[in-house]
Structures are given as C-alpha cells and as structure tokens.
Structure 1
C-alpha cells in the first residue's frame, strides 16, 4: 500500500517537470530552494492529512445519518456524477475561499498559513507546502458539507482528482494563457499573484478554483500578463520541515504586513 504517495509523486513529476522546463514563467532550477523540504511535505503531510480526513469523514457521516433526512442524501447522490462534481466544486470552493480569507485576516491563523506563503520559488511541488493545521482545517471546513449532503463516492473521487491536479497547476511555474476562461477557472497567473510579496497583491485571489468568488466578494486582483517581482513573506521562515512546523508557536520578532487586516476587507 503506497501510503506516502510515491507512485503519485513520480507521475506528477513526469508531467510537470518537463512542461515547467519548456513553458516556464521564470527561469528556475528543478532542484530549487526548498525542494527537499517540499518532498517531505508531500509525503509526510499527505499521510497526516489522509488520517485526519478519514476520521473527520467518519464523524460527519455519523452525524449526517442522524440529522440529515435520507430523502436528501438519496436525492443528492442520485444526480448524474458530472452534476455532483460541479456542485462539489462550487460548495468546496466557497468553503476554501472563506477559510483561506480567515487564515489571512486572523493573526493567530496567519502564523500557520504564513508557512505556505514562505515559498520563495514557486512550482508544482509548492502545492503541498502547507502547515498540517492549515491544510486540515481548510479541508474540514470545505468538505464537511459534502459528506453531510451525501454526495456519492464516485463524484468525490472524480472531484479529488480534479482538485489535486488543478492545485498543482495553479502553483506551477508555467506560463499558460487561459484567455476568457481566467474568470471561470483559477490559473497559475491568478494564484501566483496571491503568493506575490508585493503590497498590491496582499489579501487578494483567495479562491482555489473559481475566481468569480473573488470578483463577487471584492478580492480579485487583475494583473494582466504581468509577473510578480518576488514571492514569500516579510518574516524569516525556518528552512527545515520541523522548523516550519514549529514556527507558528514561536514568538514573532517582526509582524508581516500580510498579517495586518486591510482597510477594504
């Protein structure tokens, strides 16, 4: 049993590394700064998150069996799979948007999310560079309604493949023109401006998959084809995996500009 996702890692590497070399947004080495740490995040964090999600799903399904009428869950799971997947994308991304925004706006939560923003060279592997508290909380918030409403296992499986593939894409070092689709589907350009350590990018582009949520709630940052000057955060983030895991518990010597709620929020 490949509990650490080695096979999935190799498949993803074989897909993204060549394309990032051929269609790079900016020149960058394959074994860039933090590459080894991100491998640990991918394998070790993935195991922790899977365990947490299985436990969460078991609890939510038990609650659903008691509180949610079977007529509701039968109606939801009886829909065509493609329609269920579309509904799951919408519901989960609303959860991701507000959880993500909270992790930016609440200083105690930002300490955990800052670990993800500490990435200074962005590529597909950076998709997995998240503190476990950040990742588990966001997934719990976004997926709880899915388990409560009784979406089918097949639709959740299809959504999971779309979600993980898309998450790697938006973190990738790829220049991919989305054209008019940029308003409907989050692109690498859309998300790299969320990671930009520049004032005009702070607290923008929170959606994971649906940029229209940022348009609707006033947090969309339209950047055209311009690339960010730099990524990262103001605070020095430890270089090691365990240093980053313990980082949110350490007293902070300098407050990042990102941790200060903006006047427009």
Structure 2
C-alpha cells in the first residue's frame, strides 16, 4: 500500500532535495513556503487521475502498434540493444514533451490548463507536481504514445520514466546549477527556471524537458549569461486551493465563451 501511494519514493525525494536546496540555493526561500500544502495534495492525489488517462493512452497505442505498425519495424526495434533503445526512447519522448509543452503555451484554451503549473511563485523541487491532471495527461500523450506505438521494450520505457521522474524534480529545484558548456545540450535547473520566469523576455521559451538542444534547434532557447530569473508566476490571480485549481481551466473557458458570446451579440 505504501508503494501504491508512492510514500517511499516521495520520502526519498524529500530527503535528497531539501538538503540539496539548503546547500546550493539559487534564491533565499523557506522550506515551508506558500502553497506547500496544496502541492502535497497534488503529489498524492494527481497520480490517480493521471493514471486513468495514461492507461487509455497506452491501450490505444498498443492497439495501433498491433494493427498498423509494419512487422519489419517491430522486428528492427526488438533487435536493438537495451542501451540503444533507452537513448532513442529518451530522444523521442523529449521531442514529444517539447511540442506538447509548446502547444500548451501557444493555444489559449490549452494555456488555461498549463497556467496552473506556472502559477507557482516560489519555485522549488515540489513545484514539479503542481500541474493540472489534464496538463500531465496531454504531455504524456505526446511523449509516451509514440513509444508504445513503436513497440520499445517495457524496460526501456520504464527507464525513461525513472529518468524523467528525477529530472522533473531536479529542474524545478531551488538550486544554482547551470551545467556550464553542456547548458545547450541538457536541460538544467537554470534553463527551466527561465521557463517559469514571469519576465517578458523569458516567456514562451525553454520547452524541452531533458535536451535543451531541441529549443536551440527550434529557436525557443533563452539563457542569458550572468543573469538569473527574479520572479515567477502568471499575470492574473490564481486560486491557491487544489480543487479550485482543478476547476480553473473550466471556469476560464466558460468565462471566455461568455465574453465571446456577449461580444458577438453586440
């Protein structure tokens, strides 16, 4: 039951990142910062909601794999060594993260979902889980769906999940870490902190989850040397309660629809 709820993994993550943030803090910030309790609810409740969506994604992907994917492709992927499969899985998964993430920013209706994640104003490791379930499911569809369609081994995909789990907490962590010459190859905390910045120049930048060269390739990288982001969050006021945050996109969509209808009538 403990593993089902993820308490052991969470405890290990906490024991690693809390002291690391104390030792290598990028900003002066309290451990018991604003929104901490809400993020703990995200940590232990969101997983169940996301799981339902991921099960559907995987089921559809397996059907596509079995009914559409050419046998030659299946055999070619099966024949790949585990290490090669892992490399391909991470590369394919992260380009899926890049484009779904970019869509979440570019499409107004999708932004209302993703704004829940960007509402965090005091960034730390636990901010990684401050996401609307629809946000997570959409990004999983972009990253996980093609992996199961192509038929990579469960071990390779499981390794990707494990890597991404730790990467998500690391890049949100309140640590001063920029990777030096590798900053344009791998996503660092500095790289992702700029993505969360509310400063105008940094908006809609740095979408990749693991490989920053995707942003370099598609012209969305923002890493000014010698500078650090100072403020985080979104322009409009956001709820602080978990249930209100779940409702936020639907309220925003309804308000937008009402405004459009009113403008049309006038």
TM-score tier after normalising by the smaller chain length: over 0.9
* Alignment partner of 1:128 is 2:129: yes
Which whole-Å CA distance do the structure 2 matches of 1:77 and 1:43 have between them?
Answer: 35
Q: Take 2:98 and 2:125, find their aligned partners in 1: how far apart are those partners? A: 21
Give runs of ≥4 in structure 1 deviating > 4 Å: none
- Aligned pairs, how many? 255
Q: Distance in 2 between matches of 1:224 and 1:69?
A: 47
Partner of 2:141 in structure 1? 140
Q: Aligned partners of 1:31, 1:74: CA distance in 2, in Å?
A: 51
The 8 Å contact of residues 120 and 232 in structure 1, kept in 2 or not, is answered as yes
Structure 2: distance between partners of 1:68 and 1:203 = 35
Deviation at 1:40, TM superposition (A): 1.0
Equivalent residue, structure 2, for 1:9: 10
Conserved? CA contact 1:33–1:121, under 8 Å:
yes
State the match for 2:262 in structure 1: none
Quote the residue 1:52 is aligned against: 53
What is the correspondence of 1:83-98 to structure 2 with a 5 Å cutoff?
83-98=84-99
How far apart are the structure 2 equivalents of 1:77 and 1:116?
Answer: 37
Select between 89-98 and 116-125 the one with higher mean Cα deviation: 89-98
Q: Deviations over 1:81-130 (max 9, x none)?
A: 11111111111111111111111111111000000000001111111111
What CA distance in whole angstroms lies between the structure 2 residues aligned with 1:70 and 1:251? 46
For structure 1, the 5+ residue unaligned runs are: 256-265
Change (3 A) 1:162 1:225: farther
Q: Which residue of 1 aligns with 2:200?
A: 199
3-state DSSP of counterpart to 1:174: coil
- 3-state SS of 1:63 partner: helix
Q: Would you say the 8 A contact 1:57–1:144 is kept in 2? A: yes
Secondary structure of 1:18's counterpart equals helix
Partner of 2:212: 211
Q: Choose 1 or 2 for highest CA Rg.
A: 2
Q: Distance in 2 between matches of 1:168 and 1:19?
A: 12
CA distance in structure 2 between the aligned counterparts of 1:20 and 1:113, rounded to whole angstroms? 25
User: Within 5 A, what are the aligned runs for 1:215-234?
Assistant: 215-234=216-235
State the alpha-carbon separation in 2 of the partners of residues 225 and 121 from structure 1. Answer: 21
Say yes or no: does 1:24 pair with 2:29: no
Q: Which has the higher helix share?
A: 2
Gaps of 5+ in 2: 257-266
TM-score (norm 1): 0.92
For residue 166 of structure 1, what is the aligned residue in structure 2? 167
Supply the distance in 2 between the matched residues of 1:128 and 1:10 (Cα, whole angstroms).
14
SS in 1 for 2:149: helix
